[in-house]
């Protein structure tokens, strides 16, 4: 629009040259007005320019100061590495769009976005999309919003259905460009199985997410082909029933959804994605969210040697074959860390800043530090591969059942309470 | 801007009347261009009109279909009641702004927003504010965004500092207009104590939220004056140290923050606010979020009879005095519910739609329903007041210590694992 305004001002100028002097006042007035409009349009479209390096400088104009502070706080060793990562988000709906916004605001290097749907007013009960984007494809609307928020992020969008033959090809090829993590944020079983297929074929680590049709529970899950259960190995625990939204709509009913549940699931998903990429904390293999009781079940799911997905079984075999090399590397790393720990204590400034107020203090103004509730001087890494149970043999299928039974026990205990 | 464009077109029209015919072509061209610009500006400002009633109709144009579906799913008895509620949000930062957006998208009746700060580029690592809003007050920017998202919500904004004498007066008076819940989303200890003071004086139920300075943990807490611990009764567990951001900035350091942690905390906060107002599920008295381990500690905190806050002690006395009436009302309610339960089973359609896939099924395409993991035919209400421990006597202070010790045990167990 700014360009259009510039051309209009140019037109007025040339008109001015050709007019009798009696008209000049009117033209001047019109030019004034046009200049004012140009300023208004400029304000509403002001975008910051790209920044070359992420600075830790604490000034109001630095969009990365609060993120780079994660280093000073001892949480992340090298935050700027985030610019080297590419994340693919499949499904730009209630969870995927918020996940994309979070990663964009964190300054991720590159985002690949996949969706075939358009924005509707019926989506407005979830975060991210705006009413003025109704009718746009979700990918176009997302690129519009995200590029305004952070021009440093490279955005690639694919308006396609990954469950079609052609869509699947484009999807798989785009992942071959070098993607560090795939986030599945789709709303049906078929699309999840397609993401699973692509990631198993490529040996691509991914995270799955879902929200129940009654809108009050959800989950996230880490899937590392060959190392953890794939989506076909183990049953999804809390997942939409697999009925396409279009079918539901034809019948005059739709799934419920809440911006809260979807915001929490997106937050848990991207938090675990950050932990995975930037190597801090512990990545959850599975994390549920039951919002009615604020209950968060966790579990691990081992791969099923009899999985129906052939690519999964291939990845499992490769994973077993590479075990000796992995063990050696893990041992060397532990030894290297142990020797560096002897040199100097790490992360002295890693504090939680808990303030404890004395109950009996009438003024309630003094505070004292409670003992830190984080392990002193430790930064947690992604659990090494070998922390996952090792017994993956052709006759061993009990693992999945055990885990499911354990989760069922947790849920039963919850329901009877 | 649209108005300005309209006037410009008018000016061009009158200019046309007074010009020689040789100039008319140029004017026509300019008018064309101006019309195009007007369309562009209109598109980017299109807002939906207010709706009179919340409809459950499943059409793409209905912004409330997915929320009204909560009734059909058996989660909420009467969703449209949300339009009768007023929520005050103190602090429109990383948590408060997202909480405001969630409530706006849920169709809350009225939102009161309080903040004294302006939007900076340094805030862009959290959700909600856009780079083009830099320099605006946070309240103005929030009203701009929220009224575009949902024109049905009545927005009242207060750009003031509640910790000043004048600000506190305006704050307390605004709450007297009839507010159902106050959400505290401030980033310092002093402001929390001020919200606590106002709510204790007014007997106003509120929820507190906070995110740690290292950005990787947070909490929410329900505070019912007289019934639960107030903010002065018990020490905050995970809270910013109380150092003002301005002081920090002067020293060239700032707290870290992440859109993920803040999004999760805002989601948990508003989810509990919805459960409280719309009476479903269980409202958490306290819920922590440790993102490094995905650990969510819970606890209850009883009021401290020796609390330094006089208004808190007054509310405690009133609460004890009204116990017989509360007991009678609770008993009558239970009896009424029991008799209505005998008439017909409630919520037959309350299903979680879990699909369980048979591990040994090569096709993995069939699915069967698992037994419901929600208690059959039950909708959980806010725990009645009397579920909170009753021993509030002048010599009883052990409750708080016990709870803290229990939490410390949970955290110790976590750290040693």
The chain-wide mean pLDDT, for chain A, equals 81
Position A13 scores a pLDDT of 79
Q: Which of B256, B294, B304 sits opposite A75 (nearest CB)?
A: B256
Q: What 3-state DSSP class applies to A332?
A: helix
Position B309 scores a pLDDT of 96
User: What is the rounded distance in angstroms from the CA atom of residue B316 to the CA atom of residue B217?
Assistant: 31
User: What is the rounded distance in angstroms from the CA atom of residue B47 to the CA atom of residue B50?
Assistant: 9
Residue A80 has pLDDT above 90, yes or no: yes
| DSSP letter, residue B370 | P
Position B236 scores a pLDDT of 53
Q: What are phi and psi of B143, to 5 degrees?
A: -60, -40
Q: Give A-chain residues touching B38 at CB under 8 angstroms.
A: none
Position B382 scores a pLDDT of 26
Following CA atoms B353, B359, B360, B361 in sequence, which dihedral angle do they give, to the nearest 10 degrees? 40
Interface of A with B in 68-97 (CB under 8 A): 69-70, 72-75
Residues of B13-30 as b/e, b for ≥16 C-beta within 10 angstroms? eebeeebeeebeebbeeb
User: What is the rounded distance in angstroms from the CA atom of residue B196 to the CA atom of residue B203?
Assistant: 10
Helical ranges in B83-188 per DSSP H: 96-105, 138-149, 165-175
Position A415 scores a pLDDT of 55
Lowest mean pLDDT among A18-27, A386-395, B84-93: A386-395
End-to-end CA distance of chain A: 60
- Please state the rounded mean pLDDT for residues A164-191: 96
Q: What 3-state DSSP class applies to B295?
A: strand
Q: Give A-chain residues touching B46 at CB under 8 angstroms.
A: 131-132
A55 touches chain B (CB under 8 A): no
Mutation for testing the A interface, residue in B22, B38, B57, B66 having most A CBs under 10 Å = B66
Helix or strand holding residue A360 (H, E)? none
**How many angstroms away from the CA of A340 is the closest CA of chain B?**
22
Give the contacts of B388 (CB within 8 A, at least 6 positions apart): B227, B228, B285, B300, B302
Pick the more confident residue, B33 or A61.
A61
Give the contacts of B120 (CB within 8 A, at least 6 positions apart): A60, A61, B134
Position B414 scores a pLDDT of 59
Interface of B with A in 9-28 (CB under 8 A): 11-12, 14-15, 18-20, 22-23, 26-27
Tokens 């064309």 sit on residue: B32
B63 touches chain A (CB under 8 A): yes
**How many angstroms away from the CA of A20 is the closest CA of chain B?**
9
B304 touches chain A (CB under 8 A): yes
Lowest mean pLDDT among A142-151, A201-210, A224-233, B354-363: B354-363
Tell me the catalytic residues of B: 254
Position A275 scores a pLDDT of 98
User: What is the rounded distance in angstroms from the CA atom of residue B37 to the CA atom of residue B143?
Assistant: 26
Tokens 């750009």 sit on residue: B159
Distinct helix (H) and strand (E) counts, chain B: 12, 9
Exactly one of A185, A254, A307, A312 is catalytic; which is it?
A: A254
Gyration radius from chain A CA atoms: 26
Following CA atoms B1, B6, B12, B18 in sequence, which dihedral angle do they give, to the nearest 10 degrees? -140
Q: Give A-chain residues touching B400 at CB under 8 angstroms.
A: 359
Gyration radius from chain B CA atoms: 26
Position A165 scores a pLDDT of 97
Residues of B168-206 as b/e, b for ≥16 C-beta within 10 angstroms? beebbebbeeebbbbbbbbbbbebbbbbbbbbbbbebbb
**Any idea how long chain B is?**
417
Instruction: Establish how many alpha carbons lie within 13 A of residue A338's alpha carbon, considering only the half-sphere containing its beta carbon.
Output: 6
The DSSP bridge partners found for residue B298 are B287
A336 touches chain B (CB under 8 A): no
Interface of B with A in 241-260 (CB under 8 A): 241-242, 248-249, 252-260
CB B210, CB B240: distance < 8 Å: yes
Query: Cβ–Cβ of B263/A261 closer than 8 Å?
Result: no
Burial class (CB in 10 A: 0-12, 13-18, 19+), B33: middle
Strand A217-223 to A286-290 pairing:
antiparallel
Locate A335 and state its tokens: 């030894």
Q: Which of A33, A234, A361 sits opposite B4 (nearest CB)?
A: A33
Locate A173 and state its tokens: 């090829």
Position B340 scores a pLDDT of 74
Q: SS3 helix, strand, coil % of chain A, rounded to 5?
A: 45, 10, 45
Residue A296 has pLDDT above 70, yes or no: yes
What is the CB neighbour count within 10 angstroms for residue B11?
Answer: 18
What is the CB neighbour count within 10 angstroms for residue A137?
Answer: 17
Q: What are phi and psi of B297, to 5 degrees?
A: -70, 145
Locate A179 and state its tokens: 């993607």
A264 touches chain B (CB under 8 A): yes
Strand B355-356 to A154-159 pairing:
unpaired
Q: Say how many CB pairs under 8 Å bridge A and B.
A: 425
Following CA atoms B288, B292, B293, B297 in sequence, which dihedral angle do they give, to the nearest 10 degrees? -10
* pLDDT band, very low/low/confident/very high, at A369 (cuts 50, 70, 90): very low
| Chain B residue with Cα closest to A409 | B373
Query: Cβ–Cβ of B215/A61 closer than 8 Å?
Result: no
Closest CA to A237 of A4, A410, A16, A413: A410
Q: Give B-chain residues touching A106 at CB under 8 angstroms.
A: 125, 258-260
DSSP symbols for A172-232: HHHHTTT-SEEEE--SSHHHHHHHHHHHHHHT--EEEEEE-TTSSEEEEEEE-TTTS--TT
Mutation for testing the A interface, residue in B18, B35, B260 having most A CBs under 10 Å = B260
Residues of A185-195 as b/e, b for ≥16 C-beta within 10 angstroms? bbbbbebbbbb
Q: What are phi and psi of B155, to 5 degrees?
A: -110, 130
Per-residue pLDDT of chain B (417 residues; tens, 9 = 90+): 666 677 777 777 777 777 777 777 777 878 777 777 766 665 555 678 888 889 988 888 999 999 999 999 999 999 999 999 999 999 999 999 999 999 999 999 999 999 999 999 999 999 999 999 999 999 999 999 999 999 999 999 999 999 999 999 999 999 999 999 999 999 998 999 999 999 999 999 999 999 999 999 999 999 999 999 999 997 554 343 444 444 444 566 689 999 999 999 999 999 999 999 999 999 999 999 999 999 999 999 999 999 999 999 999 999 999 999 999 999 998 998 888 766 554 444 433 433 333 333 333 333 333 333 323 322 222 222 233 333 333 333 344 455 556 666 665 665 554
Position B232 scores a pLDDT of 93
Mutation for testing the B interface, residue in A259, A276, A367, A395 having most B CBs under 10 Å = A259
Instruction: Establish how many alpha carbons lie within 13 A of residue A170's alpha carbon, considering only the half-sphere containing its beta carbon.
Output: 17
What is the CB neighbour count within 10 angstroms for residue B106?
Answer: 24
**How many angstroms away from the CA of B321 is the closest CA of chain A?**
24
Query: Cβ–Cβ of A214/B74 closer than 8 Å?
Result: yes
Instruction: Establish how many alpha carbons lie within 13 A of residue A282's alpha carbon, considering only the half-sphere containing its beta carbon.
Output: 17
Chain Cα centroid distance, residue A75: 19
What is the CB neighbour count within 10 angstroms for residue B100?
Answer: 30
Q: What is the pLDDT of residues A116-127, one digit of tens each?
A: 999 999 999 999
**Any idea how long chain A is?**
417
Q: Which of B26, B75, B411 sits opposite A373 (nearest CB)?
A: B411
**Torsion sign across C-alpha atoms B378, B382, B386, B392:** positive
| Chain A residue with Cα closest to B413 | A373
Q: SS3 helix, strand, coil % of chain B, rounded to 5?
A: 45, 10, 45
Give the contacts of A38 (CB within 8 A, at least 6 positions apart): A2, A5, A6, A9
What is the CB neighbour count within 10 angstroms for residue B276?
Answer: 20
Query: Cβ–Cβ of B149/A124 closer than 8 Å?
Result: yes
pTM: 0.76
User: What is the rounded distance in angstroms from the CA atom of residue B72 to the CA atom of residue B74?
Assistant: 5
| DSSP letter, residue A158 | E
Distances from the Cα of A316 to the Cαs of A305, A394, B13, B38, in angstroms?
Answer: 7, 11, 75, 60
| DSSP letter, residue B386 | G
Chain Cα centroid distance, residue A381: 19
Q: Give A-chain residues touching B126 at CB under 8 angstroms.
A: 66, 105
The DSSP bridge partners found for residue A211 are A218
CB B277, CB B207: distance < 8 Å: no
Position B32 scores a pLDDT of 79
Q: What 3-state DSSP class applies to B54?
A: coil
Mutation for testing the B interface, residue in A216, A262, A275, A369 having most B CBs under 10 Å = A216
Query: Cβ–Cβ of A70/B215 closer than 8 Å?
Result: yes
Contacts 24+ apart (CB under 8 A), A379-384: A379/A74, A379/A75, A379/A77, A379/A280, A379/A346, A379/A347, A379/A350, A380/A280, A380/A281, A380/A282, A380/B292, A380/B293, A381/A279, A381/A280, A382/A275, A382/A276, A382/A279, A382/A282, A382/A283, A383/A282, A383/A283, A384/A326, A384/A330
């Amino acid at each position: 629009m700014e360009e259009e305004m510039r051309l209009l001002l140019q037109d007025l100028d040339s008109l001015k040259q050709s007019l009798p002097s009696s008209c000049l006042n009117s033209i001047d007035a019109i030019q004034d007005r046009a200049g004012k409009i140009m300023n208004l349009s400029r304000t509403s479209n002001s975008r910051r320019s790209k920044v070359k390096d992420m600075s830790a400088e604490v000034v109001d104009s630095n969009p990365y100061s609060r993120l780079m502070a994660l280093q000073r706080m001892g949480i992340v060793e090298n935050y700027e590495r985030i610019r080297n990562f590419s994340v693919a988000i499949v499904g730009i709906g209630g969870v995927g769009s918020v996940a994309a916004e979070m990663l964009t605001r964190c300054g991720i290097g590159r985002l690949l976005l996949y969706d075939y749907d358009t924005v509707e007013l019926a989506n407005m009960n979830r975060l991210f999309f705006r009413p003025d984007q109704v009718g746009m494809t979700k990918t176009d609307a997302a690129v519009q919003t995200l590029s305004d928020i952070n021009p440093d992020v490279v955005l690639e969008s694919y308006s396609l259905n990954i469950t079609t033959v052609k869509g699947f090809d484009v999807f798989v090829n785009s992942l071959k460009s070098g993607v560090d993590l795939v986030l599945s944020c789709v709303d049906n079983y078929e699309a999840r199985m397609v993401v699973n297929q692509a990631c198993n074929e490529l040996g691509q680590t991914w995270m799955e997410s879902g929200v129940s049709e009654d809108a009050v529970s959800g989950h996230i899950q880490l899937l590392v082909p060959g190392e953890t259960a794939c989506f076909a190995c183990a049953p999804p625990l809390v997942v939409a029933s697999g009925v396409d939204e279009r079918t539901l709509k034809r019948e005059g009913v739709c799934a419920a959804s809440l911006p809260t549940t979807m915001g929490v699931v997106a937050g848990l998903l991207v938090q675990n994605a950050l932990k995975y990429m930037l190597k801090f904390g512990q990545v959850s293999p599975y994390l549920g969210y039951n919002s009615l009781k604020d209950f968060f079940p966790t579990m691990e799911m081992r791969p099923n040697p009899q999985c129906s997905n052939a690519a999964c079984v291939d990845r499992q075999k490769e994973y077993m074959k590479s075990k000796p090399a992995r063990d050696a590397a893990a041992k060397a790393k532990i030894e290297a860390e142990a020797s560096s720990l002897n040199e100097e204590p790490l992360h002295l400034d890693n504090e939680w800043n808990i303030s404890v107020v004395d109950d009996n203090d009438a003024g309630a103004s003094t505070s004292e530090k409670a003992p830190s509730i984080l392990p002193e001087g430790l930064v947690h890494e992604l659990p090494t591969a070998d922390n996952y149970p090792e017994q993956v043999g052709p006759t061993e299928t009990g693992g999945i059942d055990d885990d499911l039974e354990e989760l069922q026990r947790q849920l039963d205990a919850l329901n009877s309470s």
